Amino acid sequence: MSFEWIHVAYAALTLFIVINYGMIMTALVRKIGARVSGRYGIPIWQNYIDLAKNIALRSKVTHGAMFYLGPVFRLTGGVGLLLFVPTIYGSVMHQNFSYAGDLILALYFVFFGTLGMALGAGESGHPHAAIGVSRGLAQVTTAELPLALAVYALSLQYQTIDITEIVAAQQGSLFNWTLFTNPLATVAALFGLVGTMMRSPFDVVMAPQEIPIGPPTEYHSSYLALMQTNRVLFPVAKVVIFMNLFFGGATNWAEFAVKAFAIYMIPVLIGVVNPRFRVEQSIRFFLKWGLPVGILAIVTV
């Protein structure tokens, strides 16, 4: 793919659509949760108001350079993840900057934000932040193992590390999806998805009632606004990768909206019925159940 300047504008448009989609969708998911428990729930535009409120706060306390850079790295992880994979398959505008080796880069970007957050939260000096970071890195590392194995299985299966080609191979019929051609890899990757979404039972990193909220304990005002933006962007970007790799990708925005919502609901549904794991329990869970499935996916491909 040759580079033209108009691609920057197209990518910005994709980013804009995805951020707004994430804002509305995460609020909708919270609202559904509230309705299920018999409450009316937050207004659907609450995320926008919270964002505006946090930007509107007057005092901003900093703890040093890395404290600034933590949320920036985190947002870079989300934006990078989105911009280097094709969001809409076959669309010139929303192909973004995907290239022949984007699958490997995507794997890297999934982890990048966590590392940036670790540095930033470390400098905030709050003990709860340090606890949250050490838990987060340990848990995300083991949750990534089945995901990485599933991705290798996929690249063996399709003989490519280009996400666009993987999506192209799944077009035509529902049964061309990786979900049906390679169910083991899909299950292994779903371990990774559920483990990195910061939802129960794997939300010991944040653990609101235990270590106030872990890494972002000291973050407020504009820093928190950056992280809130990432919190709506990053899950959707991650879901886009899963959609492309396992669920046939999306050829238009309507299909994208439906599929992204459906995939996002997997960790949500698992989350609402399961209590929180302790960190050693979740590590053991991923090594005991996730890793063998990932190895099986590689062996049987």
- What residues make contact with other proteins under the rule CB under 8 A? 34, 37-43, 46, 49-50, 52-53, 56-61, 208-209, 212-213, 216-221, 224
Q: Is 159 helix (H, G, I), strand (E, B) or coil?
A: coil
From the CB of 252, what's the least distance to other proteins, in Å?
34
Widest distance between CA atoms in the chain: 58
Cβ atoms of residues 106 and 81 within 8 Å: yes
DSSP conformation letters of 107-133? HHHHHHHHHHHHHHHHHH--HHHHHHH
The smaller minimum CB distance to other proteins, of residues 59 and 159, is found at 59
Cβ atoms of residues 133 and 90 within 8 Å: no
- List of residues 6+ apart from 188 with CB closer than 8 A: 146, 147, 149, 150, 153, 290, 293, 294, 296, 297
From the CB of 32, what's the least distance to other proteins, in Å?
13
The smaller minimum CB distance to other proteins, of residues 12 and 65, is found at 65
From the CB of 59, what's the least distance to other proteins, in Å?
4
Structure tokens at 188: 């292994």
Q: Count Cα neighbours of 155 within 13 Å in the Cβ-side half-sphere.
A: 15
From the CB of 22, what's the least distance to other proteins, in Å?
18
From the CB of 212, what's the least distance to other proteins, in Å?
4
The smaller minimum CB distance to other proteins, of residues 54 and 114, is found at 54
From the CB of 53, what's the least distance to other proteins, in Å?
4
The smaller minimum CB distance to other proteins, of residues 8 and 36, is found at 36
From the CB of 49, what's the least distance to other proteins, in Å?
5
First vs last C-alpha separation in the chain: 30
The smaller minimum CB distance to other proteins, of residues 181 and 221, is found at 221
The smaller minimum CB distance to other proteins, of residues 50 and 162, is found at 50
Q: Which long-range contacts (CB under 8 A, 24 or more apart) does 57-60 make?
A: 57/220, 57/221, 57/222, 59/221, 60/220, 60/221, 60/222, 60/223
The smaller minimum CB distance to other proteins, of residues 87 and 124, is found at 124
